[in-house]
Structure 1
């Protein structure tokens, strides 16, 4: 998989929530792992998936 950085929430710093595009016509999101059991139960996250939280500015206006 080829990964290209699209934008970060605290550009130009590399160590923060970041949006990446892959050559599989998908995106990868780096963010803060959600561990709150109440939130995870409410979302009903299936096995093999996880939830991350990112600042709104990371995805607003993203391609």
Structure 2
């Protein structure tokens, strides 16, 4: 899979980031939220990102 960085909330690579893949999907880098209370299947996960990251991606017409 080829991955391309779309937008990030910092420049050091250790913070919430959106990536596009060559498969027409998005990858999300963020923190795993504790105590979310949701039933998530073992093969899936949740990540938490700032809403401003999505706004920036839309504003910059990246997604």
* TM-score range relative to shorter protein: 0.7 to 0.9
TM-score by length of 2: 0.79
Structure 2: distance between partners of 1:57 and 1:48: 27
The number of residues matched between the two structures is 58
Identify the match of residue 45 of structure 1 among 40, 43, 58.
Answer: 40
Residue number in structure 2 paired with 1:2: 2
TM-score by length of 1: 0.79
Matches within 5 A, 1:1-63: 1-10=1-10, 12-36=11-35, 39=36, 41=37, 43-62=38-57, 63=63
Structure 1: distance between partners of 2:34 and 2:45: 10
Q: Which deviates further from its counterpart, 44-53 or 23-32?
A: 44-53
* The structure with more strand, counted as a fraction of residues: 1
* Structure 1: runs of 5+ lacking an equivalent: none
